[in-house]
A and B are shown apart, each in its own frame.
Chain A
């Protein structure tokens, strides 16, 4: 088994962030090896299924996973680090005596996986004495041998490192030429090669790809001692290297260029440099009530925090009480069938199928076919996110396909699927929306975010803020954060742009569980208006 490691990198503000680092560090070439043939995986899986059954398991699943990561990190004209990691092993989960047991091994021989299978059964039997209610699984019909791959056009891991370094150096040089004082840019590339088999009769081979290209540009005015940052406006995606092509057809012109299915990082870096400098002299916002026009690269995180997390069934039930927290969206509110989560314009749906999204797979990590379902329909809370062993707790007969483990060595559990806001049905653009606002702020990009442990009270910042007066944008403003309560906020939603404005945002390293696991999810939406939201001014002076 392996211990979870972290790579400390500099991040937003003056704090560092920790990137989870799995497996051993290898050469970039090794990431291109084909790995174990699926027929061999099937053989090992059958060893596990038979061994566990003989040892007393009533249900078994095994995930033989090869997890590949490549991180390329730069600042200004230097490459700071290049890390390639490979992690390969098998995680085995069983039910014995009505109780879950889990064991994992990187000894991928028949003897090695058989030993782990017996360990998993032993753990289940040992834990059974603490069990108060036997596990009940929603039924799943075996699908036999199937395979699926993220529909990528170019495997990012096959692109030579030197090409990636040159790409990021071009990005950095562009920003520096445009007046940036500093820039950090990175590429984070992930490939999960997951083979899942279960005693239900499924053998599912999936090849999942994800990519993230973040950057942060800083402008410093040494004379005044002021500094401002502007982060890149891309989002992590379930796409290949083609995402970085930056096609003109994927660009949305406006106050700054926004991006759809591909990203022009070099262009965004130049804009970021110009906008970071503009922030240094931008007007400080007058606090008060404003109508907010929230652009998708910003709103995606608000959806994540105020809808995605509170509707995770394990939080609602109290399983995450000591870490991530619980939820205001309790079962009694859902059972009433009348809980007004948002205005009647608000339909929020969950899925693991949207093309290009981080959550997209054909089957989840317990072999459930993925799908789309509504969480909030026309403003009313109608459902949660559940796994096979949770479905009966909300009187449902099938899992939503929300099971995920971030490594072969991590036990899979309920994780957030993509959660998105359905676009408006009438033709309505972001320009139309701004034109209809008397006193408002147009917010682009995600900034500081904080929400309480039951997901009532939140505060969000952003990257770019534009003041709207009488239907016109009158200038860039700074020191903006808005505060609201989840239910009040979604009930203040008064307009949503149509599907032509719909885009996916997302997050790469969402943390949950103890020991903590990460997961990546996307959130789609169109530009959306929220009326009379409390905006505070965040400027402070320290002597």
Chain B
């Protein structure tokens, strides 16, 4: 029941919208089946499967809006949910920022559904965990991991003739390996559309190697270092920065994207010329839903940064009208263009530096400069003359990704990572003068 076909979904949406007596109405039907398995201390702790399907209906009278949701789809239920949305709309205060609902959109075709993920069984989940635990036991390390897989669909429609359907699958596996003496820790992630492409044993081996190699770390003085940040170390900083690519907050003067004297920094070269960010739902690496969540606007390729120059900031339809700018919808994925080097090659070309496997607990310190703080974790190593010399203690960093993206020395091959609830392609970066402000004893 959780995954409906295009025609089944359209039939329900058409029917519920027919019951509308409002000025405008929209409906969104979304269903998913999510499975998970969790383990720690080399033993499975919990597992579960969650099925969900829900219809959300919005009714509008002028600028008054009401939303009601339901999870049953008889004719009587469909009429009831529309009536409830209409009642809520009549009672709600006007939203001066409400924009008219959209008519037909041209949604791009996205291939984001893999049969292997759709057909995953509890036994496969158990085996995925077992492969990781067995690998851990062989190397005398302790595994804690989590696998979550999802098959889902979403269908949207408005009383103005818009309709869209999108089905997708995803699976995300993370694992932390710790040595029995507590002196080493490693982490690895696999984020895929196709469960067939996931090998939890291999991913676990990456984490095991880091755990074993990171034991008995030496303390280096905090300060400015050349660093090689692996993709999962980059993504935490970049994710924060991209969440600030918003025209309204910039125009209002309260963002690192605000321009002195008013307006925003679109068109300015803010980063190294090798920095390129874009979004594209048709990406084969990170396929994504081809419409926005809030108003179902069609999504295509959007350039955010091209050759270091800010090309676009997300701009809602309301703010586009107010600021007389172009509408730029919020994306569902992010791609940072990288280079062609592996992390090993980046290390090989480094005379002195620090390899950072992962960053953690990143928080905004100053939105004016996008200054972030956070820590390294699960494998931090000193590099000398092109080789990893020894593990070092973790650092706290205080750094702005804007500064970091001006100090690029080299870039690696982008890898798929989970970032802020979406998937992204992020390369490893070699960066000079990265600011570590203190040491952490954490392993």
Contact = CB atoms under 8 A, between A and B. Distances in A.
B367 A13 contact: yes
Contacts of B244: 13-15
Interface string A1-44: 11100100000111110100000111100000000000000000
A25 B256 contact: no
Contacts of A16: 243
A456 interface: yes
B40 A14 contact: no
Contact of B253 (A25, A130, A220): A220
Contact of B144 (A161, A318, A515, A534): A318
Interface string B356-388: 000011111111111101110100000000000
Interface in B401-442: 402-403, 406, 421, 437-442
Nearest to B97: A78
B274 interface: no
A165 interface: yes
Interface stretch (A255-263, A264-272, A445-453): A445-453
A321 B45 CA distance: 13
Nearest to A447: B365
B51 A1 contact: yes
A130 B44 contact: yes
Nearest to A536: B437
B373 to A, nearest CB: 5
B400 A540 contact: yes
Given A18-B421, A448-B373, A485-B441, A317 B87 contact: no
Contacts of B368: 226-227
Contacts of A330: 182
A68 B313 CA distance: 37
Interface string A457-495: 101010000000000000000010101010000000000
Nearest to A223: B261
B282 interface: no
Contacts of A249: none
A457 B439 contact: yes
Contacts of B7: none
A292 B67 CA distance: 48
B92 interface: yes
B134 to A, nearest CB: 12
| B interface bracket (residues with beta carbon within 8 Å of A) | 35 or more
Interface in A500-543: 514-515, 534, 536, 538-543
Contact of A328 (B97, B256, B441): B441
A80 B48 CA distance: 36
Interface in B302-327: none
A79 B93 contact: yes
B259 interface: yes
Interface core residue of A226, A448, A479 (most chain B CB under 10 Å)? A448
Nearest to B250: A14
Nearest to B126: A130
A449 B363 contact: yes
Contacts of A514: 36, 38, 146, 148
A54 B243 CA distance: 53
Contacts of A132: 43
Interface in A393-447: 409, 411
Interface string B57-101: 000000000011111000000000000100110011101110000
Nearest to B262: A222
B52 interface: yes
Contacts of A253: none
A127 interface: yes
Nearest to A15: B243
Contact of B43 (A130, A223, A449, A543): A130
A535 B69 CA distance: 50
A148 interface: no
A78 B43 contact: no
A450 B373 contact: yes
Contacts of A540: 366, 369, 371, 400, 403
Interface in A220-234: 220-227, 229
A336 interface: no
Contact of B443 (A27, A78, A319, A454): A454
B43 A181 contact: no
B50 A1 contact: yes
Contact of B375 (A25, A161, A221, A452): A452
Interface in A59-91: 78-80, 82-83
Contacts of A220: 252-254
Contacts of A319: 40-41, 45, 144
B176 interface: yes
Interface core residue of A15, A224, A456 (most chain B CB under 10 Å)? A15
Nearest to B378: A453
A411 B45 CA distance: 12
A330 B437 CA distance: 26
Nearest to B259: A225
Contacts of A188: none
Contacts of B87: 27
A38 B93 CA distance: 36
Given A12-B364, A453-B442, A78 B96 contact: yes
30 contacts: A2-B71, A14-B249, A14-B255, A15-B243, A24-B68, A24-B70, A78-B97, A79-B93, A100-B46, A131-B43, A165-B93, A181-B253, A220-B254, A223-B261, A224-B260, A318-B142, A319-B144, A409-B50, A450-B374, A453-B360, A456-B442, A457-B394, A457-B396, A459-B365, A459-B437, A538-B366, A538-B371, A539-B366, A542-B370, A542-B400
Interface of A: 1-3, 6, 12-16, 18, 24-27, 78-80, 82-83, 100, 102, 123, 127, 130-132, 161, 165, 181-182, 218, 220-227, 229, 317-323, 325-326, 328, 330, 409, 411, 448-457, 459, 461, 479, 481, 483, 485, 514-515, 534, 536, 538-543
